[in-house]
Chain A
Amino acid sequence: MNLPANKKNISIVCFSGDFDKMIAAFTIATGAAATNREVTMFFTFWGLNALKKKKGRVAMGNSIMARAFNFLMGGLNNLPLSRLNFFGASSKLMTGMMKKHNVASLPELIDAAHALGIRIVACEMAMHILELEQSDLIEEVQDVVGVATFLNDSEEAHIIFI
């Protein structure tokens, strides 16, 4: 059997806050970690919605604009499907279909990512714009970093943008 001596690390930029794209990101991440790769997930812009401690629509931040954006975007329970969203109903329908076919749900994938030791980091700049603090995010978030740190950490990694 030919085994790769050095598997490349995987770094995933989670830019989209779409439900289906987030499923794809966490599926690749957990699959990579379970098959012995080191994985970093860097959440920026809409992707940050998946990491908010408050999973519903909550006004967060200080300015009116930040509070409006955070309220309208919501959290993990409000992630829209990238296609055929039907005013938010589709992600719930899709979760039901996934359950029916024994496919892990998004919260299960996030738990698995944490259990597998996947490094989850949040983008400093996007958090600054949206007026979010690390304390607003789930405890699985290990650090808030800038792009230079992310790129340095990903020097030897495949970078995947979702």
Chain B
Amino acid sequence: MKHFLDITRETCPMTFVKVKLKLAQMDQGEQLEVLLNKGEPLANVPRSCEEQGFTVLSNEPTDDDKHLILIEK
């Protein structure tokens, strides 16, 4: 099952907080697609997920200058 989270309107620290809490609700093996802004969220959300042992499957820029990352729990 794939979940989706848009954190482009969030600011620090809720960018990390929302991703962390969403992942906590998900089951092992499920995927989370996160739309985020460049800068602090792009630099730290994927790293924070990898530190928790999750896999960042992809990290692609979008047409509107944001990034879409896919995380597997």
Contact = CB atoms under 8 A, between A and B. Distances in A.
A134 B2 CA distance: 42
A55 B16 CA distance: 28
B52 interface: yes
B21 interface: yes
Interface stretch (A28-36, A43-51, A78-86, A122-130): A28-36
A118 B10 CA distance: 21
Chain B contact-residue range equals 10 to 19
A3 B21 contact: no
Given A27-B12, A102-B11, A112-B14, A34 B47 contact: no
A112 B17 contact: yes
Given A3-B47, A3-B51, A35 B16 contact: yes
Interface residues of A, number: 20
B20 A116 contact: yes
Interface of B: 9-14, 16-17, 19-21, 44, 47-48, 50-52
B17 A116 contact: yes
A1 B13 contact: no
Given A30-B17, A115-B21, A102 B47 contact: no
A35 B9 contact: no
Given A3-B51, A36-B48, A36-B52, A31 B20 contact: no
Given A30-B17, A34-B17, A116-B17, A102 B10 contact: yes
B15 to A, nearest CB: 8
B51 A36 contact: yes
A33 B50 CA distance: 15
B14 A35 contact: no
A34 B50 contact: no
B44 A35 contact: yes
A103 interface: yes
Contacts of B48: 34-36
A1 to B, nearest CB: 6
